[in-house]
A and B are shown apart, each in its own frame.
Chain A
């Protein structure tokens, strides 16, 4: 790719403006899915094109970008996306959460608390929280319009009936601002609480399904649950990161192929490196 052949941030200004309009609409109606004319990008649909289009539409020359995939700055897809954005914008990159202004992420919210200066862009494979209970796009849209969410709760109820427990894993559905049920993208349940009353802006982009939605700062985000079966986080207790010694964070589980031992290390690689460096000083 010759950088000069393409516009700043790849997309033409008209497309970027249209995407920004969808973003503004999404911010004003928290948790509501806003359709947008998703463009074809040089990376695969389903590989983060929704998040990438948001990033490309809001990024300016002074922004500092961090891209993580499942918490990891060095993951091949994170590198691929970072490389693409930096080729067509020339913006500075970082692995430091605090230093970044835009963080594009797949399936994780960074461990370090995000502030007013941060926009977290989450890549979304399936924006429709009702898809598993209503496969028709038209009917699901009608259900959102009518606030008819009994089927979403029923799914959890059925899990309790069958297994004695809510079995929903990552991507746990949440109620945003008391109005829209939203798929928070497949972040672990551990990250879900970070969406509630946050200081930063969360933007969600689904490129394949052509939807954008948002959780603005200080918005209420509540996981769906029952009085007697409250929302539960993943078990992170009694685990310690083998690299930086952190506790009570979200971990990757590592098997040592020689000894068969099981280790844990921080899923957030940027946080882990920072933490390890701080301990050495």
Chain B
């Protein structure tokens, strides 16, 4: 065992950073950020979602800067975002106003406006298309002209009422009073437990995609109550972001629009509705993401619902488990800190093990307990 104290230095760090640049510049073609934002949309959306920061160009630069590392791109975006002041808060968004590009329901066949498939990978066969090796822009342009030339344009944007509004009229869904209290802001304050709904939704919105998908999946497999939720509605489309007009708060200004996917998952549950009904009804889990990350949005809706039914024996229903372990910067930061030297702490640990071994040798036993558990010492 040789663990000589590595004393690095400024020079070593600088060279290491140059090596990164070397690695990033492999090959002949520079990666234009415009290509990333237009052709790697899903990747850009994921970075923005986990960063909690809508800025496609910055997401593209971040991806370019870090050889496409999602972890590092989210990190860059977060660190930059935390230096910005929040100059405005948008007006409340109502996703009923969404300019739809896709909208489906797995609960009802006939919904107002019908099922709108939109762009989805769901029905593609996942076969690598080797033609893309020699795809050229002229062909793509021709396809675009032809496709756009043949479609019928709508005079007004496609908008639709929510499926759940119909159920709510029947008192099958719990109807809550509108809660217009100022939401907590998890970027400004440490949240405490029990967590408010705004904290839960914000945390889930920014959580690592793999984490929330995995935990939601565990709930579906039996580690929780939400065995098989039904997608009441999944809608994907553009939402205008408005702020109050600074000089006249009755007026508003549109800043632009953002592509969202919103999911309402239905889960059978004991509910109290505003009417006299009390008993089995439908609880709704809510999911919202930037872009078209549908699996992520569904996972979020499952966890939202699970967290509203606390049960510390099931990870998906345990708010401390879900809200504390999916934070991308925290998880990657703490795991990667293991690479830092731990000479001092390890010395302290070794000292203890040696002492105990020595004393136990004198006493004629070894340094494990009678039940075979190895000496286990907490180490940071």
Contacts and interface: CB of A to CB of B under 8 A. Distances in A.
Given A40-B78, A252-B5, A267-B343, A165 B329 contact: no
Given A164-B360, A169-B352, A74 B380 contact: no
Contacts of B354: 235
B190 A38 contact: yes
A69 B352 CA distance: 22
A163 B369 contact: yes
B151 interface: no
Contacts of B279: none
A235 B351 contact: yes
A188 interface: yes
Given A164-B359, A235-B351, A45 B377 contact: no
Contact of B2 (A49, A210, A211, A257): A257
Interface string B334-376: 1111001111110111111011100110010001010001011
B119 interface: no
A24 interface: no
Interface in B122-149: none
Nearest to B77: A40
A257 B4 CA distance: 8
B205 to A, nearest CB: 16
Given A39-B82, A252-B347, A169 B379 contact: yes
B348 A169 contact: yes
Contact of A163 (B79, B337, B356, B380): B356
Interface string B3-20: 111111110110000000
A171 B345 contact: yes
A47 to B, nearest CB: 5
Contacts of B85: 12, 14
B320 interface: yes
A268 B13 CA distance: 22
Interface string B34-47: 00000000000000
B337 A80 contact: no
A52 B355 CA distance: 36
Given A41-B82, A186-B380, A46 B2 contact: no
B333 A45 contact: yes
Contact of B79 (A42, A69, A132, A137): A42
Interface in A220-275: 234-235, 250-255, 257, 265, 267, 269
Interface residues of B, number: 64
Given A35-B192, A45-B330, A69 B378 contact: no
Given A37-B187, A40-B81, A188 B345 contact: yes
A194 to B, nearest CB: 14
Nearest to B83: A6
Interface in B303-336: 312, 320, 324, 329-330, 332-336
Given A35-B190, A208-B330, A267-B344, 13 more contacts: A12-B83, A14-B85, A44-B337, A45-B329, A76-B13, A79-B13, A83-B10, A169-B349, A169-B351, A170-B348, A235-B354, A251-B347, A252-B5
Interface of A: 6-7, 10-12, 14, 35-42, 44-47, 49, 69-72, 74-77, 79-80, 83, 106-108, 125-126, 132, 135-138, 141, 162-165, 167-171, 185-190, 208, 210-211, 234-235, 250-255, 257, 265, 267, 269
Interface of B: 1-10, 12-13, 75, 78-79, 81-83, 85, 187-190, 192-194, 312, 320, 324, 329-330, 332-337, 340-345, 347-352, 354-356, 359-360, 363, 367, 369, 373, 375-380
16 contacts: A10-B83, A40-B78, A44-B332, A44-B333, A46-B337, A69-B340, A83-B10, A108-B344, A164-B359, A164-B363, A170-B344, A186-B345, A186-B379, A234-B351, A253-B350, A267-B347
- 6 closest cross-chain pairs (CB), A and B: A45-B333, A76-B8, A46-B337, A186-B380, A46-B334, A210-B190
